Amino acid sequence: MKTVEKIADMKRLRQQLTGDIGFVPTMGYLHEGHLSLVRQAKTENPSIVVSIFVNPTQFGPQEDFKNYPRDTKRDLTMLEKEKTDIVFMPSVTEMYPPGFSSWVEVEKLTRQLEGASRPGHFRGVTTVVAKLFNIVQPTRAYFGQKDAQQIAVISKMAADLDMNTEVIALPTIREPDGLAMSSRNTYLNPAERRAATILYHALTLAQKLWFEGERNAERLRQQMTDLIQREPLATVDYVSIANSKTLDELEIVTPPVLLSMAVKIGKTRLIDNIVFR
Ligand code: PAJ
């Protein structure tokens, strides 16, 4: 496994690779969710590249960029075990040198949900992912359904800008009690960790009501919100039932539907979702 910190070195190594390249962009502090992407990339491509870069431009001024968990040594051990070929881990100034002034922005799809709650977030995500795609030039790039809107936005960017990378979405990996794995789960104290299962319970409640025939989106949103609000440590940011392609809110629940939510557990903001097809 090679680790590379400079863009020029990453590009040089890229030129030496032949055949398809699978790419998994991450912000590190890896868990089984990230590793599921790495493993799938490994089965579909002769060479794989993983990036570790905590991207400052996708964090708001009041968000957790400084405190975001980092453990490069542990990450590299995990990636070595998965037989990763190249790990690209640039510094912030390598990616954003003084005078950096170009941005990639996807309109419309970035207005709702996470985009509404975190202004500028997706501009940071699309800019860094576009840069990473240019540097790594992957055949396929792998993303988790955990960040459903991120996948929609990156797919749109890749299509609109004629990028040569296929964007692949893979399922959310969960803890045994249903909590979606996330690097941010490490912020939770034991009581908050127990409370955090409320996100998954709200999603499964909606799924149950849907199977029982409920098609009124507002009633479903209300039932989910009510359940979450019964958890004293939880504060709802949003609960959404939207068309999974346009992300527009629905009145009648007709598939394909994205049920998604952002909930604060104590000070930690968590997101989760499921799709009805
Ligand atoms: P990060 O949060 O580190 O996630 C990297 C990738 O892992 C994303 O595609 C994310 O959706 C996926 N992932 C996270 N938790 C998962 C889970 N429980 N199951 C399956 N996949 C999961 O997302 C980012 O980083 C950044 O925005 C990035 C794309 C790297 C751009 O900076």
For residue 252, with 0-12 CB atoms within 10 Å meaning exposed, 13-18 middle and 19 or more buried, which class applies? exposed
Q: Mean pLDDT, the chain, as a whole number?
A: 98
Same domain for 120 and 256, yes or no, is no
Same domain for 193 and 98, yes or no, is no
Whether residue 277 lies inside any domain: the answer is no
Ligand 1 mutation pick, 35, 146, 275, max ligand atoms within 8 A of CB: 146
CA of 142 to the centre of ligand 1 (A): 9
Domain boundary among 138, 170, 202: 170
Whether residue 178 lies inside any domain: the answer is no
Same domain for 102 and 233, yes or no, is no
pTM comes to: 0.98
Residue closest by Cα to atom 13 of ligand 1: 144
Question: How many C-beta neighbours within 10 Å does residue 116 have?
Answer: 14
Q: Is the CB of 138 under 6 A from ligand 1?
A: no
Same domain for 223 and 110, yes or no, is no
Same domain for 166 and 195, yes or no, is no
> 7-16 vs 121-136: helix axis angle to the nearest 10?
50
- pLDDT per position as a tens digit, 183-233: 999 999 999 999 999 999 999 999 999 999 999 999 999 999 999 999 999
Nearest to 241 by CA among 264, 222, 217: 217
Whether residue 177 lies inside any domain: the answer is no
Whether residue 21 lies inside any domain: the answer is yes
- pLDDT per position as a tens digit, 127-177: 999 999 999 999 999 999 999 999 999 999 999 999 999 999 999 999 999
Q: What pLDDT does residue 277 have?
A: 83
Write the DSSP symbol of residue 249: B
Q: What pLDDT does residue 25 have?
A: 99
Domain boundary among 118, 136, 170: 170
Distance CA 79, CA 18 (A): 21
Residue closest by Cα to atom 9 of ligand 1: 143
Give the domain range for residue 49.
Answer: 2-170
Same domain for 136 and 97, yes or no, is yes
The enclosing domain of 80 has a CATH number of 3.40.50.620
Q: Is the CB of 179 under 6 A from ligand 1?
A: no
- pLDDT per position as a tens digit, 41-77: 999 999 999 999 999 999 999 999 999 999 999 999 9
Same domain for 23 and 160, yes or no, is yes
Residue closest by Cα to atom 7 of ligand 1: 34
Same domain for 43 and 165, yes or no, is yes
Q: How far is CA 150 from CA 64, 90, 109, 110, 143, in A?
A: 18, 22, 9, 9, 8
Query: Could you tell me the strand order of the sheet in which 21-26 lies?
Result: 2-4, 86-88, 47-52, 21-26, 140-144, 166-170
Angle at 152 between CA 126 and CA 8, to 5 degrees: 30
Domain boundary among 104, 136, 170: 170
Residue 201 bears catalytic tag: no
Q: Is the CB of 129 under 6 A from ligand 1?
A: yes
Same domain for 199 and 164, yes or no, is no
- DSSP code per residue over 162-230: T-S-EEEEEPPPB-TTSPBP-GGGGG--HHHHHHTTHHHHHHHHHHHHHHTT--BHHHHHHHHHHHHHT
Total domains, the chain: 2
Q: What would the mean pLDDT of 112-139 be, rounded to a whole number? A: 98
